[in-house]
Structures are given as C-alpha cells and as structure tokens.
Amino acid sequence: MKFAWIVSGIIMILVTVPAGLVGYSGSGTLDVDVPACDSGILGLNVCDRVIMVEDGVNIPDAAATLLAADISVDWGSQNVWIAIVPASDEEYCTNGNDGYLVCERDSLTYLAGGPYSGGSFDWALEGGDIRFVAGNSMEAAGESVTIEYTYNAYLSLLLGSILTLVGGVQIFIGWKF
C-alpha cells in the first residue's frame, strides 16, 4: 500500500467536490446616475440608441468548457437597461466619444439583457468575444439606478468528473499496488 497515493487521491477528491459543486459566490451593488437620453452627454443624443463599450471581453472557449459561472443582474428600472452582445455587433455602430460606440438599438443581437429585459437578466458563461451595452428611454429627466449583481462560479461537470476520477484512480493504485 502506497500511503502517498491514497492521501493525494483523497485530497484531490476533497478539494474537487466542494469547488465543483459549491464553487465561489459573491454579490455587490453599484449606484449609477443615468442622465436623460437627450441630455447630450459626451455630445450624443442616444434616445432609441445604445452605447457600447469600445473594449470587449474575450472569454476563451477552453475557459468556458472548464469553468461554469452563472451571473444575475438586476437594476429594477424599466427605463434603463444593460445587456451583453457579441463583439461582432460592432459593425452596426458608429464611433462615439471617449471609448464608446453608438449603435442602433434594434440591430444588435442580445445574449442577455436588453431593452425588453424588464430590469434584470441571468447569463451563463459562454466562450467568445462579448461587449457590454447600455441604453435608456428617459427623455428630459435622469434617474438614479442601483445595479445589484450576484455570481456563482464553479468547476464544469466535465472537469469535476475528470478530477474526481483521477483522485479515485490514485486511491485505487495506492490501495492495490
């Protein structure tokens, strides 16, 4: 019996099961003052348009395969909205100011959220290039919005199963050989 093999297998399983099933969770809030869409902030009139962040986020497909994450966002306002769109939707936008693009609201492909999302969205992590967009339909008056978010990240079923199997094989090898 090889004690080191058994101990390492037990440790692998004890670390994998909580990380894979429970994962890491968190939450937070962000208070944002949203100006009226016709206020000319950044020199733009964005009523019925969308502001896209010029810099996107690239989520490698391998990361999305090995890790899983569920994100919930709630901002509680019907007049203001945020969304996640593919970075390729940049083609429907024109150059704005200070790192922002201005897009036609109905030309974008919304992966989560959007103008008809009702003040919240849930999104499961997927691989690919994404961008964040925001819009509002408030003319002549701004609004203060509190954005609340929660997330839960954990090992994917594939990776958790592989690591648990490896731990089991280590225990078996230590026990039998």
Domain chopping of the chain, boundaries: 24-154
Residues 6+ apart with CB under 8 A from 176: none
Gyration radius from the chain CA atoms: 22
Question: What is the four-CA torsion angle of 86, 90, 92, 93, rounded to 10 degrees?
Answer: 130
Residues 6+ apart with CB under 8 A from 127: 59, 60, 61, 62, 63, 64, 65
pLDDT tens digit sequence for 46-98? 677 788 888 889 999 888 888 889 999 998 887 888 899 999 999 999 887 77
pLDDT tens digit sequence for 89-130? 999 998 877 778 888 888 999 999 988 888 899 999 888 999
Question: What is the four-CA torsion angle of 79, 83, 89, 94, rounded to 10 degrees?
Answer: 40
pLDDT at 144: 80
Q: Which residue has the tokens 């964040």?
A: 132
> Where residue 165 falls among pLDDT bands split at 50, 70, 90?
very high
pLDDT tens digit sequence for 3-20? 888 899 999 898 888 777
Distance CA 177, CA 34 (A): 67
Q: What kind of fold does domain 24-154 have according to CATH?
A: Jelly Rolls (2.60.120)
